[in-house]
Amino acid sequence: MAKKNFISIADHTEKEINYLIRQSYNLKAQARAGKKHELLPGESLAMIFDKPSTRTRVSFDVAMYELGGHAINISAGECGLGARESVPDVARTLSRFCDAIMIRTFGHETAVELAANAAVPVINGLTDLLHPCQAMADALTMYEVTGDLKGVKLTYIGDANNVTNSLINLADKTGIDITVCSPKGYTPDKKIVGDSKYRLLSDPSAAVKKADFIYTDVWVSMGQEKSSARKAKAFKNYQVNARLLQKAPKHAKVLHCLPAHRGLEITDEVIDDPERSIVFEQAENRLHAQKAILVYLLK
Ligand code: CP
Ligand code: NVA
């Protein structure tokens, strides 16, 4: 059987994605009950980081440990992916030592090239284009609140970036009803999410009116720092704050993939609101969602 990768949610069937969400829910229940779930004994994951990380790095490391395996961190400086050594040669070498590779990098094509040349599964831990592992954790987080993702109203406010693209992919597979609310010039790239169903609005008040979940992410993603001043202007009316939440249903919960730029895309009072914000549950769910992905790829 051909090896599987996890580069984009779009590469997988509805059945597979919904199975992964249920598995992450089950694995979280097992972890909470203190039950051992060493499903990958002795297996090794190589993790290549060309960009910084807290959640992705630690959650993959802990996931491998709790599954009975182990993870190896390879920072940009050490590996020199594409500079010190070609991407295919790194793929071939790591495939001889490890059972899977996780990569966080800039160009999406680097992750695709790595996957094409690796004999083992490759997982996308974020590229400029997509953040599929994040969206799988987000799916678990919304599923825990609602018990069913079909028809759940998710409103994403802000820069249509890697996180947004993967949320749109997730909506395609799960029946989530997604609205993206971004200013002109920062809407989803048709080349990436062209055939997907999503509602595009530019007025945040209208966008949150019926939302079950309100999601935001940084206006300036890693590697785009030069655009900070321009974006601060473009997004000034797109902050998720208490005034905006007054326009949303009382039950609406707030999501953010983190790290947050407090005071820009989200205010302290919202992110720290125990009634509204579930961002740290969401962060924890990276661990459980990625365990499901690892087991699915390696078993
Ligand atoms: N959400 C997320 O991917 O966090 P890190 O950048 O800290 O890994
Ligand atoms: N869009 C953000 C997500 C960080 C997890 C970035 O790419 O920096």
Contact 81, 50 (CB under 8 A): yes
Q: Which ligand is nearest to the CA of 158?
A: 2
Question: What is the tens place of the pLDDT at every residue in 150-159?
Answer: 999 999 999 9
Residue 191, pLDDT score: 84
Distance from the CA of 261 to the center of ligand 2, in angstroms? 11
Residue 1, pLDDT score: 75
Mutate to test the pocket of ligand 2, among 127, 192, 222 (most ligand atoms within 8 A of CB): 222
- The DSSP line for the chain is -PPP-BS-GGGS-HHHHHHHHHHHHHHHHHHHTT-----STT-EEEEEESS--SHHHHHHHHHHHHTT-EEEEEEHHHH-BTTTB-HHHHHHHHHHH-SEEEEE-S-HHHHHHHHHH-SS-EEES--SS--HHHHHHHHHHHHHHHS--TT-EEEEES---HHHHHHHHHHHHH--EEEEE--TT-SPPHHHHTT---EEES-HHHHHTT-SEEEE--SS-TT-GGGHHHHHHHTTT--B-HHHHTTS-TT-EEEE-S---BTTTB-HHHHT-TTTB-HHHHHHHHHHHHHHHHHHHH-
Question: What is the tens place of the pLDDT at every residue in 180-205?
Answer: 999 999 999 888 898 899 999 999 99
Contact 290, 276 (CB under 8 A): no
251 in catalytic set: no
The CATH superfamily assigned to 9-131+286-298 is Aspartate/ornithine carbamoyltransferase (3.40.50.1370)
Mean pLDDT of 88-112: 98
Distance from the CA of 131 to the center of ligand 1, in angstroms? 9
Selecting among 256, 257, 282, 290, the annotated active-site residue is 257
Question: What is the tens place of the pLDDT at every residue in 13-45?
Answer: 999 999 999 999 999 999 999 999 999 999 999
**At 93, which amino acid appears?**
T
The CATH superfamily assigned to 134-283 is Aspartate/ornithine carbamoyltransferase (3.40.50.1370)
- d(CA 33, CA 24) in angstroms, rounded, equals 14
Residue 34, pLDDT score: 97
Mean pLDDT of 220-249: 97
Token pair recorded at residue 32:
């909470």
Residue 238, pLDDT score: 98
Selecting among 23, 134, 239, 290, the annotated active-site residue is 134
The mean pLDDT value of the chain amounts to 97
pLDDT at residue 133 above 80?
yes
Distance from the CA of 133 to the center of ligand 1, in angstroms? 10
Residue 137, pLDDT score: 99
Mean pLDDT of 255-270: 98
Residue 181, pLDDT score: 98
**At 4, which amino acid appears?**
K
Residue 138, pLDDT score: 99
Mean pLDDT of 127-134: 98
pLDDT at residue 76 above 90?
no
Write the burial class of residue 136 (CB in 10 Å: 0-12 exposed, 13-18 middle, 19+ buried).
Answer: buried
Residue % of the chain over a pLDDT of 90: 96
Selecting among 217, 256, 276, 288, the annotated active-site residue is 217
Distance from the CA of 217 to the center of ligand 2, in angstroms? 7
Residue 192, pLDDT score: 87
Token pair recorded at residue 247:
């326009």
pLDDT at residue 142 above 90?
yes
Residue 85, pLDDT score: 95
268 in catalytic set: no
282 in catalytic set: no
Could you give the residue range(s) of every CATH 3.40.50.1370 domain in the chain? 9-131+286-298, 134-283
Residue 19, pLDDT score: 98
Question: What is the tens place of the pLDDT at every residue in 271-282?
Answer: 999 999 999 999
